[in-house]
A and B are shown apart, each in its own frame.
Chain A
Amino acid sequence: QVQLVQSGAEVKKPGASVKVSCKASGYTFTSYGISWVRQAPGQGLEWMGWISAYNGNTNYAQKLQGRVTMTTDTSTSTAYMELRSLRSDDTAVYYCARGITTDFDYWGQGTLVTVSS
């Protein structure tokens, strides 16, 4: 069965970086892209960007350009999302999901990233 398993919760100080992993199983990793979505406490869903697991092409949300990098390791079927220069308003649950348009059919369990001094 398809599964996306994310890395554990992180606590970071403002200005630091965080890298969240998303390990895929149960399907051919390179046949689908991975999108990243975040949700601040009590808030709605925010699309962050996607990466093609086939060729590494990416597309990021404009507001995160320059601070976010999405990568994949096809040898381990793992996707990564790194966010730099963290601010308090980056505190959120970060999700990976399979797909790159809008039909995100499988989701990871979420990773809570807390940014606090």
Chain B
Amino acid sequence: NAGVTQTPKFQVLKTGQSMTLQCAQDMNHNSMYWYRQDPGMGLRLIYYSASEGTTDKGEVPNGYNVSRLNKREFSLRLESAAPSQTSVYFCASSEAHGGVNTEAFFGQGTRLTVV
């Protein structure tokens, strides 16, 4: 019953460093998402992927890149971290087709601090 698994759980980066957040789901979902959660701003969509091989920008894509490696995995990369990217990052997946989106399942989150 793994569901959605994110790694790492915590990370501290220096400004300018790069890193990749990993996400994998074992529910055979077609859609996957990356969000950031900031106080007072809720969850903001960074990127999403409707299917293997496709990715689209969300509300706040600047400073991030993503890769939908296969149906299971969807990674988020920060090429040059900035303090403004300090946040809690969540990966999620859902089954979306025929105009209906099922329940989204979330990972446990990655708490990232950029100093």
Query: A and B from one assembly?
Result: no
Query: Which residues of A pack against B, CB within 8 Å?
Result: none
Query: Which residues of B pack against A, CB within 8 Å?
Result: none
